[in-house]
Amino acid sequence: MAQVTASLLCGAVVALLSSAVLAVVEDLDQTFKDTRMNDIWLVDFYAPWCGYCKKLEPIWADVGAELKASGSPVRVGKMDATAYSGMSSEFGVRGYPTIKLLKGELAYNYKGPRTKDDIVEFTNRVSGPAVRPLPSKQMFEHMLKRHDVLFVYVGGESPLKEKYIDVATELIVYTYFFSASEEALPESMALPEIPSVAVFKDGSYFTYDEYEDGSLSSWINKERFQGYLQIDGFTLYELGETGKLVAIAVIDDKDPSDECIRLKSLIQMVAKDYRQHFNRDFQFGHMDGSDYINSLIMGEVKVPSVIILNTSNEQYFLPDGPTETLEDLVSFITGVLNGSVQAYGGDGIVQRVKRIAFDARSTIMSVFRSSPVLGCFLFGLPLGVISLMCYGICTADSDPDAGDMELLKREGFTDEEEEEEEDEEQRRTAQIEGPENDEEEEEGEEGEDEEEEEEEKAPEQKKTD
């Protein structure tokens, strides 16, 4: 009885949990298009057969529970993009899973890591106002401690503020935007003019100059990262959207040698001390290990070393000699900037073909490393079938009639001559067999006459008898 009661309790708990998950994540259908304008939605467009979508499913349930518990106004849903393909196309869904925050007429794509904390942070940032006010010095200082990169508009109403709000509405998917009055600024901060837009990062602040920096949107897009970063594959992808070249110290964080520490320090010094010279064109950082870089350049980079990547056209630059001093590194970066350093790689036709071959080889090698038996089956079986087909084609017998004709032609006979020879043979045979056939025909006629006479006599003999 106790076991039955425990089983019922477990079933009830599971049912409650399932209903709770369903309550925080809603299944959407074709009616969503007409009702979505009433709320802010965070939607996962998925495909039932997609492995990444299945991996995201429990995380998505946690996101829904977290937002509901925090009192967020955002509703969380999911839509089968294969069942409602027309609606998914209208929202610009091109792959699975696709995460979008829908806010009125605006749709924001989420491109960050698929973790609960990152998705929740993105949702809270984008669902709120594009520009958040900082009413006091205490709030200003609190936000400076909380964020590594902070954009602030300082001043009253102006055309610059209108531009700032428009850019914030577009780029809020990447970072936070704030506004403050001049009285709310920290005492240590002195802006050259008011109104102004400033970015706070790396322990300092830098102001926007329309004449030197160009458009406000481009300046904010380039300044939204710290001057020096730890770079991974995802960060490198995001850095590509800034249009900057990326100078990387390739080191081993797990077992750092003196050379690794020295190169990392040199990159950090250039990022800080030479910001005025290189900040518009370069982003600086380090990467742990060379595997990702090797796959990117389809080559081998030793550890430690320095490399500069141009993610827009897949070019890369390597120093001609060892980078021993700060001057060596600065000279190398300056050479890349003025075009005196040789560029490798690129996105030409030859490189694209090379990329296809490299990716195919990498895929095959990874399959064989993870599962040799599966690799043999996937690649060995088709190769075996193709080999047998080729062998059968190469060893097949030629047409015998064609061989006879070829032989006759070699002996000097044409088709007409061969037919004449056959007719001549038939005439000779007929002449030889002719007399014999005549005698046989005469004997046959005499035999038939005798049979007819016997048949005529037969009734008379029957009467006599």
Residues assigned a catalytic role: 50, 53
CA quadruple 62, 68, 72, 77: dihedral, nearest 10? 60
CB count in 10 Å sphere of residue 108: 20
d(CA 424, CA 416): 13
* Residues pairing with 46 in the sheet: 80
Residue bearing tokens 């008379």: 460
> How big is the chain by its Cα radius of gyration, in Å?
43
d(CA 298, CA 37): 47
DSSP state letters, 309-369: EETTTTEEE--SS---SHHHHHHHHHHHHHT-SPPEE-SSHHHHHHHHHHHHHHHHHHHHH
Amino acid letter, residue 91: F
Cβ–Cβ < 8 Å for 180, 155: no
Helices 216-223 + 159-171 axis angle, to 10: 50
d(CA 377, CA 380): 5
Read off the DSSP letter of residue 193.
Answer: S
Cβ–Cβ < 8 Å for 245, 336: yes
d(CA 378, CA 316): 35
Return the SS3 of 39: coil
Cβ–Cβ < 8 Å for 191, 198: yes
In the numeric block, which tokens belong to residue 45? 């467009």
